[in-house]
Structure 1
Amino acid sequence: MHFFGPSAHHAGLGMLHEHMVKVGQQFPDFTLHGYCGGETRDYTISKYKGRWLVLFFYPLDFTFVCPTEVKGFNDHFDEFQKAKADILGVSVDSVHSHNAWVMHEFGGKLNYPLLSDFNKEITELLGIDTTDSGGLVALRATFIVDPKGILRYMVVSDNNVGRSVSETLRVVKALQTGGLCPVDWKPGEKLLKK
């Protein structure tokens, strides 16, 4: 596991939490197995350099709030693509679970990959791990990474509350302006300063 820049240091049995990424830092580069369009393959974060990247972590497949979020990102997929932003969903489920869930919940139609952090290494690295579901799962976390691999935005919330996909899209577009955006800014509105 490496950051886009210098390699992260390993210590003892794994990554130390002092290496957790912060806004303004290089986002960690990692490869996870994922499922999309009936196929499983490896997805590497650094391959998305040159485009905006939205990674959203969710607790588990076959739950209650998670399908609403996955569907929400799918419903807004074209808008993210127009904004030159790719989407990756991540949970600690296996790719086989992702496959079964996408077939069951979405009729096999999901426009973006769901990645498997089955060993929970990335969830722990990012400091978004919790045991509130009986086993270790990810909290609801959203990361927006710019085309240079820099983390520009992150939000982590309680697993009982679904995130706002439209707010995530708004933040992507606000970050892309490069300017100062006031409260509740929307695309097309005046910036405070460019």
Structure 2
Amino acid sequence: MSSLINTEVQPFTADAFHAGKFVKVSDADLKGKWSVVFFYPADFTFVCPTELGDLADNYAEFKKLGVEIYAVSTDTHFTHKAWHDSSETIGKIQYVMVGDPTGRISRNFGVLIEEAGLADRGTFVIDPEGKIQIIEINAGGIGRDASELLRKVKAAQYVATHPGEVCPAKWKEGDATLAPSLDLVGKI
């Protein structure tokens, strides 16, 4: 598998459920702002609602950073609405829920499990130019943590706005960064 880091998101158009309506979403919507594309296997399952609920609980923090979230599964936008209407956890969601029944978007991001027709748990942070800056892919039984994703988004935004600086392990907003140079070689 070749890395998608620093590659541009491939073109797509899809139907989605957002704010009580069916809407169209495309790769163009990911440009001009930071975005998180959050793939999950399926609606009406077990780990997925815990992850999506965690994102919903942290959505305001993502919005403060200028980040939009796009949750994507191979379910249809109709199924997303039914799940939203029938689950208290999913009913909290205010971000976009994208339907990918053909698997095209999941395939473009390299997370489609072909034999199952489902997406792996893939998280992609995309910069305002539409380039992928962070990729995380988990096995089906391993849920993700929205607070750790927030930390990574803040680090990506910091690095993007501070050329010549990098964020070390466990970096949190306000912590010291590093400026790679010959003087640092072998000193860390």
Pairwise same-fold verdict (TM > 0.5): yes
CA-to-aligned-CA distance 1:53-99 (integer Å, 9 cap, x gap)? 00000000000000011111111111001111110000001111100
1:5 maps to none
1:102 maps to 84
* Structure 1, unpaired ranges of 5+: 1-16
The alignment's TM-score, normalised by the length of structure 2, stands at 0.87
Q: Is contact 2:168–2:178 with CA below 8 Å preserved after alignment? A: yes
What is the letter of the counterpart of residue 167 of structure 1? Answer: E
The alignment's TM-score, normalised by the length of structure 1, stands at 0.84
State the distance in 1 between where 2:14 and 2:8 align: 18
State the distance in 1 between where 2:57 and 2:92 align: 11
% same residue: 34
1:86 is paired with a residue whose SS is strand
What is the letter of the counterpart of residue 101 of structure 2? Answer: F
2:186 maps to none
Q: Is contact 1:37–1:109 with CA below 8 Å preserved after alignment? A: no
Q: Which of the numbers 130, 133, 140 marks the counterpart of 1:159?
A: 140
State the distance in 1 between where 2:67 and 2:135 align: 15
1:25 maps to 7
Q: Which of the numbers 132, 143, 149 marks the counterpart of 1:168?
A: 149
Q: Is contact 1:38–1:108 with CA below 8 Å preserved after alignment? A: no
Q: Are positions 1:126 and 2:112 aligned together? A: no
1:64 maps to 46
More helix by share: 2
State the distance in 2 between where 1:156 and 1:173 align: 19
CA-CA distance at 1:136 after TM superposition: 1.3
State the distance in 2 between where 1:183 and 1:108 align: 35
State the distance in 2 between where 1:104 and 1:193 align: 50
CA-CA distance at 1:21 after TM superposition: 6.4
State the distance in 1 between where 2:137 and 2:84 align: 24
State the distance in 1 between where 2:10 and 2:63 align: 23
Q: Is contact 1:103–1:109 with CA below 8 Å preserved after alignment? A: no
- Mark the structure with the bigger radius of gyration: 2
2:99 maps to 116
CA RMSD of aligned residues (A): 1.8
1:48 maps to 30
What is the letter of the counterpart of residue 106 of structure 2? Answer: T
1:85 maps to 67
* Structure 2, unpaired ranges of 5+: 160-164, 181-188
What is the letter of the counterpart of residue 103 of structure 2? Answer: K
State the distance in 2 between where 1:156 and 1:126 align: 11
2:87 is paired with a residue whose SS is helix
Q: Is contact 1:174–1:185 with CA below 8 Å preserved after alignment? A: yes
Q: Is contact 1:21–1:126 with CA below 8 Å preserved after alignment? A: no
Equivalent runs, 1:126-145 vs 2, <5 Å: 126-130=109-113, 135-145=116-126
CA-CA distance at 1:150 after TM superposition: 0.9
